[in-house]
Amino acid sequence: MSFVISIVTAVLFIVNILLAISIIFLERRSAQSIWAWVLVLFFIPIFGFLIYMAFGRTIYNQNIFKIDEKDKVGLEYLVEEQLKDIKDKQFSFVNPLANKYKKLIHMLLYNNHSFLTNNNSITTYTNMNEKFEAMLEDIRNAKDHIHFQYYIFRMDGIGKKLYNAMLEKQKEGVSVKILYDDMGSRALSLRQFKEIKSYGGNVEAFFPSLFNLINPRMNNRNHRKIVVIDGEIGYIGGSNVGDEYIGHSEKFGEWRDTHLRIKGNAVKSLQLRFMLDWNSHSKRHNLVYNEQYFPTIYNEGDTYMQIASSGPDEVWQQIKYGYLKMIYRAQHSIYIQSPYFIPDQSVMEALRVAILSGVKVHLMIPNMPDHPFVYWGTFSRAGSLVNMGAEVHIYEKGFLHQKVVIIDDEVVSIGTTNIDNRSFLLNFEVNAFIYSKKEAEKQRHIYEEDVKSSSLLTTEKYEARGKWVKVKEGVANLIAPIL
């Protein structure tokens, strides 16, 4: 027996060494992430290996999002045309802010194929009851198709309302496609969609578990929230589908989130993103480029915007780069609202440079954790910025969950991406980058309204935290690269 144990121990030790070598030399990781995983592997050799297999593997070299070349022609041409026109200084920037931020626009075009759109109008929802009421109304008015994608989709009160509304439209002949993340929506199963599928609706789970027990991609989740109706109306933002997101949670109470309803050409970008995500997991019902999905959009508004996405399948951290470009471009003010604020060194340094340059940095974080280590990592980094002169508010009225970055009352990014490594490196995310003084000022006024429900984190308050809080911060900082 002791001989067998010795053999198993030796094998695990060798596997640990080989795994550590692969992490160090073969995988695209930051030095902090490498050290974090090496520590996990060597301090808890057996469980560390299992933790790595579940949470640590990368997929950046896998082409999981596919669309036929013939279906890409129109959109690829649009991106190439915009890149060339910007480079040759021939792009017509009617909006002066778009011209001012053309380097950011170029970067998102080049790295992310996020074509610039105008002719957009935006409705902002900070009350998720109002968001879902509008969404239900749009679903009931759908005439051709409903494309519905969420990280978390619960079949509770609001979830059943949305499902039943889509079921009725499917019965009427409107095509319904539902994509949910298998881990985020782990209480769901495809069997619960039996009725809508019987009428011709299609439902898929993103990175589904094996035998309903093991998920080989537990750490790489589709965190996107996208709804497209008839190719004319799109939704993007922070909230998922569930009763807690409309304030029906004993733990979190009132839920504070930000979600956008978009009409205009930016819906084409949301449609394309949904098509790519859908085709990555659809077995028999792939979507192809068709005029019904990309109808001609007439005058809707004058807002310029780009829809950018990122994920572990990509070489570049597109949305993080967008945040960095915004921060370094700031001249006067930076406003950030994020439930998880554990930026890597590059983002922290950008914020420090901004503060030292005289830019007013405002940060708002929640007052309670839904993930303990993440919260204490957030608190630690917020405290370090307070000590440099940033203004940090802790939201006290329920749980703060929106992901909003505003620069100089000119450009704003809203979407699903938190300020942490999970969003930057591990999850599949999507954000709207909006070039509009009106929209940026609107979001800044919303921030200022939230301040009324917040407490100010001062240097004195932060330094007065207890020893146990410091211990939790220390542990969180140690494992921050893999949170």
On the CB side of 191, CA atoms within 13 Å amount to: 4
Which residue in the list 147, 403, 409, 420 is annotated as catalytic?
A: 403
Tokens 């190439």 belong to 80
Which residue in the list 145, 225, 362, 393 is annotated as catalytic?
A: 225
Which residue in the list 71, 138, 182, 230 is annotated as catalytic?
A: 230
223 is catalytic: yes
408 is catalytic: yes
**Which phi and psi angles does 249 have, rounded to 5°?**
-135, 125
- 3-state class (DSSP) for residue 182: coil
Distance CA 349, CA 388 (A): 12
Q: What are the Cα distances from residue 361, in Å, to 86, 150, 284?
A: 31, 31, 49
- 3-state class (DSSP) for residue 331: coil
Asked if 35 and 247 touch (Cβ cutoff 8 Å), the reply is: no
Report angle CA 148, 154, 157 to the nearest 5 degrees. Answer: 105
Distance CA 327, CA 318 (A): 14
**Which phi and psi angles does 417 have, rounded to 5°?**
-90, 120
Partners of 336 in the β-ladder:
363, 405
401 is catalytic: yes
Ramachandran region of residue 34, left (φ > 0), alpha (ψ -120 to 50) or beta? alpha
Which residue in the list 408, 409, 420, 450 is annotated as catalytic?
A: 408
Q: Tell me which DSSP letter residue 210 carries.
A: B
Closest CA to 366 of 289, 441, 257, 476: 257
225 is catalytic: yes
Question: Would you give the distance in Å from CA 445 to the centre of its chain?
Answer: 23
257 is catalytic: no
Which residue in the list 113, 401, 450, 472 is annotated as catalytic?
A: 401
- Residues belonging to the active site: 223, 225, 230, 401, 403, 408
